[in-house]
């Protein structure tokens, strides 16, 4: 069962380029993190399904965010708003008018591009033709549908392209029911939909994805301070969950990059295999959203401060992250290979709070005496930890499988366990093993996973 320590593991350098990307995409498919959607029908245009371990990991990413943004604070409450919404919301928010990308077609090869993403605006990156592009046309990214059986203009509805508007349109409801006052925030997680012209890079840019957004409402004079606070706070969150500092940076947007609502935005950027790119945006949205919705709805969306007698429209600081994109960043940052006794060991060095399983329970073999005890141990751990149970194959191969799933701790039940009521606990990163009495197991594991 033990892995000899005479020859320590030798790190293998995996370059942060297409090699890493291929390895992670491959691992995701092989181990059940992420599958191409509708694969048996040939897949469906950059949509993905989250498999048995992917769904656990994605939930953990969202739970870690919720814990930090809602559970550990007394100034933030959550909501879960509808995905389908009427045009009025998107008219007021500016999305019907402004949420567009400039689309060009190459007249030679008929490929379609976002004009603002072309390296050379005159040359087609697909066929090399020069000056072959059509005039740019503005393409709205929102998915349009119809609510009800009649497909006329009165029935038009949109799938939300961001979760944010659900928080703004519920501002008055939340203010009244939660008894919060600025500075306070509304948090939400959920699916958003954008008809992206150029989806790609696995789950980095997809047409259906998950967001985790906070709208933090502040007195106008405090906006700059809170903007700075949330930039630092969100940067810290990624570090705390194990993204290495040299793969993260905070970058302030240039004035010409700012969205239609923003008076200041910084991105938390991650060093992806193709270079630096956005992980999360933190925007100072001013009073744009509440003012727009108040104007369009005719409702009052402001705050009356009884202490000062002042009435004002709160300004909004918005940290907006993607859950699916963040999950991918954790996978890329955690992927590691090393050589152990002449074999390559692949390890996902995920933070215990992010890893799909926290503990694997493994009977040394499928023996009639070991399995009942292993199942007893499993049952004692399941209320506390997300556990995997595996009794197939040789123990070494099962350890390697757990390493690839990122499971931080494995508990092995062997023949000595029948006598001494102790088990072997094996650490994913160091591969160190030690014996722990079953009676103390929950506490010992909880301490190591904290
Ligand atoms: N409410 C502001 C807003 O939605 P955004 O920068 O457009 O801002 C926030 O989106 C985050 O959502 C991004 O930083 C990214 O993580 C994620 N995101 C946006 N579009 C995405 C897409 N097509 N696929 C995956 N994630 C996406």
- Contact of 346 with 399, CB cutoff 8 Å: no
205 Cβ inside 6 Å of ligand 1: yes
Nearest CA among 354, 291, 301, 296 for reference residue 323:
354
Q: What pLDDT is recorded for position 45? A: 87
Residue 262 predicted with pLDDT over 60: yes
- What is the spatial distance between Cα 422 and Cα 449, in angstroms, rounded to a whole number? 19
First to last CA, the chain: 26
Instruction: Give bridge partners of residue 10 from the DSSP assignment.
Output: 339
Instruction: Give bridge partners of residue 138 from the DSSP assignment.
Output: 102
Percent of residues, the chain, with pLDDT higher than 90:
94
Nearest CA among 291, 249, 247 for reference residue 273:
247
Q: What pLDDT is recorded for position 157? A: 98
* pLDDT single digits (tens) 297-323: 999 999 999 999 999 999 999 999 999
Q: What pLDDT is recorded for position 1? A: 47
Residue 240 predicted with pLDDT over 50: yes
Nearest CA among 279, 117, 100 for reference residue 195:
100
325 Cβ inside 6 Å of ligand 1: yes
Nearest CA among 325, 55, 300, 281 for reference residue 164:
281
Q: What pLDDT is recorded for position 4? A: 47
What average pLDDT does the structure give for the chain?
96
User: What is the CB-side half-sphere exposure of residue 413 using CA atoms within 13 A?
Assistant: 25
Name the DSSP class of 71.
I
Residue 105 predicted with pLDDT over 90: yes
Over residues 329-345, mean pLDDT: 97
Q: Which of 162, 214, 257 gets mutated to test ligand 1 (max ligand atoms within 8 A of its CB)? A: 162
- Contact of 120 with 133, CB cutoff 8 Å: no
Reported as type and span, the H/E element at residue 212 is strand 208-218
Reported as type and span, the H/E element at residue 34 is strand 34-36
pTM value is 0.95
Tokens 């039940």 appear where?
413
Q: What pLDDT is recorded for position 256? A: 86
User: Which residue's CA is the nearest one to ligand 1's atom 18?
Assistant: 322
User: Which residue's CA is the nearest one to ligand 1's atom 14?
Assistant: 280
* pLDDT single digits (tens) 218-234: 999 999 999 999 999 99
214 Cβ inside 6 Å of ligand 1: no
Cα 181 to Cα 38, 177, 186, distances in angstroms: 46, 11, 11
């Amino acid at each position: 069962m033990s892995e000899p320590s005479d020859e320590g593991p030798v790190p293998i350098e995996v370059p942060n380029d297409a090699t890493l990307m291929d390895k992670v995409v491959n691992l995701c498919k092989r181990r059940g993190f992420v599958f191409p959607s509708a694969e048996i029908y040939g897949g469906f245009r950059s949509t993905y399904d989250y498999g048995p371990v992917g769904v656990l990991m994605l939930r953990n990413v969202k739970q870690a965010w919720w814990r930090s943004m809602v559970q550990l604070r007394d100034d933030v409450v959550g909501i879960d708003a509808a995905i389908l919404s009427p045009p009025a919301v998107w008219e007021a928010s500016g999305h019907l008018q402004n949420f567009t990308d400039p689309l060009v077609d190459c007249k030679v090869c008929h490929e379609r591009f976002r004009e603002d993403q072309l390296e050379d605006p005159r040359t087609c990156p697909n066929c090399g033709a020069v000056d072959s592009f059509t005039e740019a046309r503005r393409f709205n990214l929102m998915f349009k549908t119809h609510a009800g059986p009649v497909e006329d203009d009165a029935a038009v509805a949109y799938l939300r392209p961001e979760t944010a508007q659900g928080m703004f349109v519920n501002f008055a409801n939340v203010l009244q029911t939660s008894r919060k006052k600025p500075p306070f925030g509304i948090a939400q997680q959920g699916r958003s939909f954008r008809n992206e012209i150029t989806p790609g890079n696995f789950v980095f840019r997809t047409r259906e994805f998950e967001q985790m957004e906070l709208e933090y409402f502040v007195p106008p004079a405090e906006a700059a301070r809170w903007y700075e606070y949330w930039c630092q706070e969100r940067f810290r969150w990624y570090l705390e969950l194990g993204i290495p500092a040299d793969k993260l940076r905070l970058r302030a947007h240039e004035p010409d990059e700012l969205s239609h609502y923003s008076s200041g935005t910084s991105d938390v950027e991650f060093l992806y295999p193709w270079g630096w790119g956005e992980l999360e945006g933190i925007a100072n949205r001013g009073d744009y959203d509440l003012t727009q919705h108040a104007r369009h709805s005719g409702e009052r969306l402001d705050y009356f401060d009884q202490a000062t007698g002042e009435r004002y429209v709160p300004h909004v600081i918005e940290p907006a992250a993607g859950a699916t994109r963040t999950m991918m960043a954790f996978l890329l940052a955690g992927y590691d290979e090393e050589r152990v006794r002449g074999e390559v060991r692949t390890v996902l060095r995920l933070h215990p709070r992010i890893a799909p399983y926290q503990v694997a329970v493994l009977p040394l073999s499928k023996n009639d005496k070991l399995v009942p005890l292993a199942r007893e141990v499993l049952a004692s751990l399941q209320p506390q930890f997300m556990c995997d149970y595996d009794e197939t194959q040789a123990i070494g191969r099962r350890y390697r499988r757990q390493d690839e799933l990122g499971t931080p701790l494995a508990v092995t039940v062997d023949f000595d366990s029948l006598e001494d009521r102790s088990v072997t606990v094996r650490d994913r990163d160091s591969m160190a093993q030690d014996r722990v009495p079953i009676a103390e197991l929950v506490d010992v594991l909880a301490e190591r996973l904290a």
